[in-house]
Amino acid sequence: MPQDRLESAGAEAIRLKTLSKPGYVEHEELFYLIVELSRHISTQFDKLMLKHRLTHSQWWALMHIYKQEGLTQSALATLMQVGRASAGALLEKLAAAGWIERRPDPTDSRVRRVFLALGAVPIFEQMQAEGEAQFKMFLKDMSLAEERQLIDGLRHIRTNSEQHSTAPTS
């Protein structure tokens, strides 16, 4: 990139920063930190799970199924933000490993619901042990009261986000 374009881009970045409204910088930093922390936790956990031959998609799907057993395959795909075909292929692998069961919906035979299988117990034991160690490190020097306050604040943000995403747009 020519020098004059670099200088122009730098000047635009500085100008954008000066346009920030008072208080916006703190909000911006909060959401930036949430996204960065999420990415960092995920990356670290990916590294830990590779030791157990578990991919990101596999442990992410298992966590969603654990939190909400009985989801439809389509709902799971939506939650994981992947296509239905990708989710279907992933679920095939998880079922072949004996970690999940896909059962027909009692009212609609076209729909399959996803449940954890007994074969997932050893995987969850490994995930839990690795997760506990990771969170001890991440939450080091944070009091239980601070942790609870942070959880409450994040839940509040999530509730607001969920209400906004389901509200009709004008």
Question: What pTM was computed for the model?
Answer: 0.72
Quick one: DSSP state of residue 33? H
Provide the residue-wise pLDDT of the chain in tens; the chain has 170 residues: 565 665 566 666 665 566 666 666 667 888 889 999 999 999 999 999 998 888 999 999 999 999 999 999 999 999 999 998 999 999 999 999 999 999 999 999 888 999 999 999 998 899 999 999 998 999 999 999 999 999 999 999 989 988 887 655 54
Residue recorded with tokens 């990708």: 86
Report the C-alpha gap between 41 and 49 in whole angstroms.
12
Q: In CATH, what class is 26-164?
A: mainly alpha
Residue recorded with tokens 């009212």: 107
Nearest residue to 46 (alpha-carbon basis) of 134, 107, 137, 138: 134
- Where are the domains positioned within the chain? 26-164
115 bridge partner residues? 101
Residue recorded with tokens 């999530």: 158
Contacts of 139 (CB under 8 A, 6+ apart): 147
